[in-house]
């Protein structure tokens, strides 16, 4: 039977990182800056990314022998949370997923080729989803066929974040009917094969990739059991970091709501004095605390190399629902203004709707949890 007790080990190092990242994000970015980036090509500030690289964040979970800080995903989560609170749009999460995939499944040569470059600022992108919209990462339609020293790819990938600026891609493909991962350099994927998609969160840059006919060295494939391990590692990292980002987003929504309730006057009173609005704020706060507890419990298990699947799926289900609830209430509190781009609540709601479905929505994860925790007895 899976143990359900909650255990959170929040280290001094994580607390220091959370404070540092919180100060950095608050001082360097804002909802106004996010709004200004909506019409830019890259969707993020390269100078800001350079500062993050110089702080060691891009290589935070990379071993020291490969140029990184030698920390874990638990520390990466403490960086993702304040990014969500201040609506940062950077390739941080995408790059960390590539790192985890290479660490879990890449061979020594593949790791040595790419991980030091990531520590120096190379951007990574993950291409795992297809038009079927299946959140089970092992269900793959894109293909790879090996002939000699070359591998020929086929198929398409959708919802690939940061594809326009990526220096390295990890794309899932089926090789002889079994999951594999193809490592593509940015130069392997011409610009015309990256088509921008329109998504609910316009602070994101999402792309559809055309892999048809691309040839890469067969040595750039991760195959067999290593590919399965890499996919699980990427999924775990994605669930943790998107949930941490959502936790930060809930805190950001609460900041916006409280500021508005303390400012807006109706019937001669600050609307924050109205009991019904106070109750909703408490509901948002409770959702935030539940989400953060789930996130850091899952992070604790991952840092200890323990089975974290139940904790991660619970975190993602809670984070998605709580963030959407908070964003929706924030928009409603602001009335008609809340539905415009000029209102910060609108940006948070769109971010919440994107994160809710990233790597599976609450219904998907609760169904998987039911299979794990309540197995059907066929005896």
Distance CA 202, CA 204 (A): 5
| 336 domain-assigned | yes
pLDDT of the residue at 154 = 96
Instruction: Give the rounded percent of residues in the chain with a pLDDT score beyond 70.
Output: 98
| 91 domain-assigned | no
**162 pLDDT tier (thresholds 50, 70, 90):** very high
First-residue to last-residue Cα distance in the chain:
17
Q: What is the CATH number of the domain that holds 238?
A: 1.20.140.10
| 250 domain-assigned | yes
C-alpha distances in angstroms, 65 versus 59, 275, 334, 359?
11, 57, 51, 31
More confident of the two residues 270 and 351: 351
In this model, does residue 4 exceed pLDDT 60? no
pLDDT digits (tens, 9 = 90+) for 239-262: 999 999 999 999 999 999 999 888
What sign does the CA torsion over 329, 332, 337, 341 have? positive
Structural domain containing residue 251: 227-373
Phi-psi region of 133 (alpha: psi -120 to 50; beta: other; left: phi over 0): left
| 261 domain-assigned | yes
In this model, does residue 299 exceed pLDDT 50? yes
**DSSP conformational letter for 193:** G
Q: Which residues pair with 57 in a beta bridge?
A: none
Which of 37-46, 270-279, 323-332 is most confident? Answer: 323-332
Domain count, the chain: 1
Distance CA 184, CA 187 (A): 8
pLDDT of the residue at 2 = 43
| 365 domain-assigned | yes
Judge contact between 135 and 364, C-beta under 8 A: yes
Instruction: Give the rounded percent of residues in the chain with a pLDDT score beyond 90.
Output: 80
pLDDT of the residue at 378 = 59
Average pLDDT over residues 20-39: 90
In this model, does residue 6 exceed pLDDT 70? no
**266 pLDDT tier (thresholds 50, 70, 90):** confident
Judge contact between 227 and 110, C-beta under 8 A: no
Instruction: Give the number of other Cβ atoms within 10 Å of residue 139's Cβ.
Output: 13
pLDDT digits (tens, 9 = 90+) for 92-110: 999 999 999 999 999 999 9
Which tokens in the block code for residue 376? 């059907």
**30 pLDDT tier (thresholds 50, 70, 90):** confident
C-alpha distances in angstroms, 236 versus 31, 100, 109, 132, 313?
29, 9, 24, 21, 9
* Burial of 5 per CB tally in 10 Å (0-12, 13-18, 19+): exposed
pLDDT of the residue at 3 = 47
Least confident interval from 6-15, 40-49, 366-375: 6-15
Mean model confidence pLDDT for the chain: 93
| 71 domain-assigned | no
pLDDT of the residue at 158 = 96
- Look at residues 147, 196, 312 and name the one whose alpha carbon lies nearest to residue 244: 312
Average pLDDT over residues 328-350: 91
| 355 domain-assigned | yes
Q: What DSSP string runs through 259-276?
A: HHHHH-EETTEEGGG-HH
| 351 domain-assigned | yes
Q: Which residues pair with 153 in a beta bridge?
A: 144
What sign does the CA torsion over 114, 115, 117, 122 have? positive
Instruction: Write the CB contacts of 376 (distance below 8 Å, at least 6 apart in sequence).
Output: none
Report helix, strand or coil for 107: coil
């Amino acid at each position: 039977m899976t143990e359900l007790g909650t255990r959170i080990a929040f280290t001094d190092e994580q607390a220091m990182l959370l404070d540092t990242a919180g100060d950095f994000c608050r001082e360097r970015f804002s909802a106004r800056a996010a709004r200004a980036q909506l019409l830019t090509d890259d969707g993020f500030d390269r100078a800001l990314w350079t500062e993050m690289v110089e702080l060691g964040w891009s290589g935070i979970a990379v071993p020291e022998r490969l140029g990184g800080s030698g920390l874990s995903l638990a520390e990466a989560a403490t960086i993702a949370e304040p990014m969500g609170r201040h609506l940062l749009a950077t390739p941080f999460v995408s790059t960390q997923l590539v790192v985890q995939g290479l660490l879990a499944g890449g061979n020594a040569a593949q790791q040595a080729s790419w991980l030091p470059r990531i520590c120096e600022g190379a951007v990574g992108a993950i291409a795992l989803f297809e038009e079927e919209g299946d959140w089970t990462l092992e269900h793959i339609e894109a293909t790879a066929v090996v002939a000699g020293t070359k591998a020929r790819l086929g198929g398409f990938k959708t919802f690939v974040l940061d594809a326009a600026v990526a220096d390295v891609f990890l794309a899932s493909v089926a090789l002889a009917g079994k999951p594999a991962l193809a490592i593509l350099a940015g130069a392997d994927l011409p610009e015309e094969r990256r088509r921008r998609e329109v998504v609910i969160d316009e602070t994101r840059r999402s792309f559809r990739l055309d892999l048809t006919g691309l040839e890469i060295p067969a040595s750039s494939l991760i195959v067999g059991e290593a590919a399965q391990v890499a996919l699980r590692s990427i999924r775990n990292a994605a669930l943790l970091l998107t949930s941490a980002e959502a936790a930060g987003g809930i805190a950001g929504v609460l900041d916006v709501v409280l500021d508005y309730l303390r400012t807006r006057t109706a019937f001669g009173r600050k609307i924050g004095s109205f009991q019904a609005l106070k109750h909703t704020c408490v509901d948002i706060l409770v959702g935030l605390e539940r989400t953060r507890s789930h996130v850091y419990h899952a992070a604790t298990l991952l840092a200890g190399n323990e089975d974290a699947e139940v904790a991660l799926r619970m975190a993602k289900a809670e984070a998605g629902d709580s963030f959407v609830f908070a964003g929706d209430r924030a928009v409603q509190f602001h009335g008609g203004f809340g539905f415009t781009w000029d209102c910060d609540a609108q940006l948070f709601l769109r971010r919440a709707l994107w994160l809710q479905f990233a790597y599976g929505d609450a219904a998907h994860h609760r169904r998987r949890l039911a299979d794990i925790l309540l197995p059907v007895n066929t005896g």
